[in-house]
Amino acid sequence: MKATLETKIGLEVHCQLTNLRSKLFCGCSANYRGKEPNTHMCPVCLGLPGSLPVLNSKAIEDAIMIASALGADISSRTLFFRKNYFYPDMPKNFQISQYDQAGGVPIAAGGSVSMGNGKKVRIRRIQIEEDPAKLSYEGTIDSASATLVDYNRAGIALMEIVTEPDLESPNDARLFLQNLRSILEHLGVSDGSLEGSMRCDANISLGEGRRVEIKNISSFKEVERALNFEIARQKSLLDRGAEVKMETRHWDELRRVTVSLRVKEEEHDYRYFPEPDLVPIAVTPELIDKVKANMPELPEMREERFVEEYDLPHEVAQTLTGNKRLADFFEDCVKSYPDAKKIGNWLVSDFLRYLYEAGLDIDESRVTPDHLVKMLQLIDSGVISGKIAKQVLKEMMTTGRLPDSIVEEKGLRRISSRDYIESEVEKIFKELPQAVNDALSDEKAVNYLIGELMRRTSGKCDPTLANEIVSSKLSKLKSKQTAA
């Protein structure tokens, strides 16, 4: 068995342009989520006989923005092609898309996304296309007795971003998608938190094995899972000396396996040809300039700014801007709390870890910038220690309650009564004479006594007072010994 096989992964990312109010080729509202199935449709997006598509020109502006952000070359003239194949999710049994062969010109090509770790993933092409309807199965695709079709999604504007096979691991894929999402969200063109707004297909090959395409990866979270499964599947085939077939597989999210959809011989011949109902689009330098002039700040620019403006370490700034919502959260906090470094540290360490453990997105957590700022203020005013604050943060995450009420209810307030602490220290010195002796001869052993005090007060004891009282008691004992 070979130790490592070269893994090559390329992604086809489909992002809905969620900032558009209407669908790509008709006036239907693009805000279809949560609506009753088959209520957001018209003759055009249903492909009724005689209807004609009319391009939503805002989609071109979005595409220009995305292409600029990725450093891609924008075509001066672009056109739409028909991709012909039968499938029940397609109202016309063809998809209006773009093509890079047979005279086709996608809106943009080239460019790259930096991964933050020095790697760059090259972009092959960027194109505009319409989303098909949404299919639902009762159970899994294999076992369902019927397929349900919801046309509300049909005709929503999609950007297809195709990478070169530059990704080397499922983790790479996740990182790439995370960075891409941050870019798209900074541009304000696609909201990745909406269900199904960002999906992808993955192409993967191992060593000398054939390329396998995985379809139906419904969210970025699923990509790593699907790729890990597929690598394991292909490895076990190769280990047994079996062949990896060139095929298209379907990611079954429920069972977390890929299943074969079709092998190479059954691959579609899409019979691409120019869409005769739409005219070629001239993308003028004036339009590009206009869009570029209104480009919002991109993650990389924001990272630089965070370093300069808030004096954050590079890694902290990079982590924050790797997710637009996190960066926004940070800047919201900074508005009402002066120590940006402290906020940054809390966010990239404890806050992110809790989110990750709970499997939540930032906007799914119940903690707002107000929560965090109030918590930091409690630390500063000595009401709670940093250690207790971690407990408070966790509690805020699950209940959404404000930190002061958590502190009151759980009795987490710092103990700063000198009498109380002195009486506790008295007890410890009586009960642990050996530890006291150690502390007398070895400065370092003092911490054990303070630790014991903290344990007995559930960490709530004011650390300055604790130190002071323990030290003074020890020095009294020491002077007694010397006197004796």
Partner 1 sequence: MTNFFEATASETALKIKGGEVTTEEYISSLFERIKKVETKIHAFVETTEKAALSKAREIDKNLREGKATGHLCGVGIAVKDNICVEGIRATCSSHMLQDYVPPYNATVIERVVGEGAIVVGKTNMDEFAMGSSTEHSFFGPTRNPWDPERVPGGSSGGSAASVAAREVAIAYGSDTGGSVRCPASFCGVVGLKPTYGTVSRYGLIAYANSLEQIGSIARTVEDCALLLTVMAGHDFRDSTSAKVASKDYRECLKNDVRGLRIGVPKELFAVGTQEVVVKNVWSGIKRLEGLGAACEEISLKSLEYALAAYYVIAMSEASSNLARYDGLRYGYRVKSDKGDWNLVFSQNRRQGFGAEVRRRIMLGTYALSAGYYDKYYLKALQVRTLIKRELEKAFGKFNVLIGPSMPILPFRIGEKLKDPLEMYMCDVDTVPANLAGNPAMSIPCGFQNNLPIGLQIMAPPFREDLLIQTAFTFEQNTSHSKQTPKL
Residue 334 CB, nearest approach to partner 1 (Å): 47
- Does 52 interact with partner 1 (rule: CB under 8 A)? yes
- Does 53 interact with partner 1 (rule: CB under 8 A)? yes
Nearer to partner 1, 76 or 93 (CB): 93
Percent helix, strand and coil across the chain, each to the nearest 5: 45, 20, 35
Report the distance separating Cα 139 and Cα 147, nearest Å: 10
Site for partner 1 in 234-273 (CB under 8 A): 269, 271-273
- Does 48 interact with partner 1 (rule: CB under 8 A)? yes
Q: Which of 5, 55, 148, 298 binds partner 1 (CB under 8 A)?
A: 55
Nearer to partner 1, 96 or 449 (CB): 96
- Does 276 interact with partner 1 (rule: CB under 8 A)? yes
Q: Which of 21, 33, 35, 43 binds partner 1 (CB under 8 A)?
A: 43
Which part of the chain contacts partner 1 (CB under 8 A), choosing from 48-56, 203-211, 291-299, 337-345? 48-56
Nearer to partner 1, 36 or 269 (CB): 269
Site for partner 1 in 123-152 (CB under 8 A): 147, 149
Report the distance separating Cα 226 and Cα 202, nearest Å: 9
Residue 341 CB, nearest approach to partner 1 (Å): 55
Report the distance separating Cα 336 and Cα 369, nearest Å: 9
Q: Which of 8, 37, 47, 295 binds partner 1 (CB under 8 A)?
A: 47
The helix or strand, by DSSP H or E, that contains position 470, with its residue range, turns out to be helix 463-483
Report the distance separating Cα 79 and Cα 32, nearest Å: 27
What is the SS3 assignment for 307? Answer: helix
Q: Which of 263, 279, 282, 301 binds partner 1 (CB under 8 A)?
A: 279
- Does 287 interact with partner 1 (rule: CB under 8 A)? no
Which part of the chain contacts partner 1 (CB under 8 A), choosing from 91-99, 285-293, 404-412, 459-467? 91-99
Nearer to partner 1, 117 or 145 (CB): 145
Q: Which of 1, 3, 34, 102 binds partner 1 (CB under 8 A)?
A: 102
* CB 126 within 8 Å of CB 109: yes
Residue 201 CB, nearest approach to partner 1 (Å): 20
Nearer to partner 1, 148 or 352 (CB): 148
The C-alpha angle with vertex 162 and arms to 16 and 85, in degrees rounded to 5, equals 75
Q: Which of 31, 37, 51, 440 binds partner 1 (CB under 8 A)?
A: 51
Strands 112-114 and 134-137: unpaired
Report the distance separating Cα 264 and Cα 249, nearest Å: 11
Site for partner 1 in 165-224 (CB under 8 A): none
Q: How many C-beta atoms surround the C-beta of residue 136 within 10 A?
A: 11
> What are the structure tokens assigned to 473, written together?
């008691």
- Does 417 interact with partner 1 (rule: CB under 8 A)? no
Q: What is the CA radius of gyration of the chain?
A: 30
Nearer to partner 1, 20 or 334 (CB): 20
* CB 165 within 8 Å of CB 10: yes
Helix boundaries (H) for 347-462: 352-358, 369-380, 386-399, 403-410, 418-431, 433-441, 446-456
Nearer to partner 1, 49 or 285 (CB): 49
> What are the structure tokens assigned to 202, written together?
């993955």
Closest CA to 119 of 160, 68, 173: 173
Nearer to partner 1, 91 or 369 (CB): 91
- Does 400 interact with partner 1 (rule: CB under 8 A)? no
Residue 180 CB, nearest approach to partner 1 (Å): 31
Beta partners for residue 249, in sequence order: 214, 260
Report the distance separating Cα 334 and Cα 342, nearest Å: 10
Residue 258 CB, nearest approach to partner 1 (Å): 20
> What are the structure tokens assigned to 164, written together?
């070169």
Q: Which of 14, 23, 40, 82 binds partner 1 (CB under 8 A)?
A: 82
Strands 247-252 and 212-217: parallel
Q: How many C-beta atoms surround the C-beta of residue 241 within 10 A?
A: 6
Nearer to partner 1, 270 or 448 (CB): 270
Q: Which of 10, 91, 132, 209 binds partner 1 (CB under 8 A)?
A: 91
Closest CA to 196 of 16, 45, 28: 16
Residue 20 CB, nearest approach to partner 1 (Å): 18
Q: Which of 5, 46, 237, 454 binds partner 1 (CB under 8 A)?
A: 46
Give the interface size with partner 1 as a residue count (CB under 8 A): 31
DSSP annotation string for 257-275:
EEEEEEEGGG------EE-
* CB 355 within 8 Å of CB 329: no
Nearer to partner 1, 24 or 450 (CB): 24
Given the rule CB under 8 A, which residues bind partner 1?
43, 46-55, 82, 84, 86, 88, 91-94, 102-103, 147, 149, 269, 271-273, 276-279
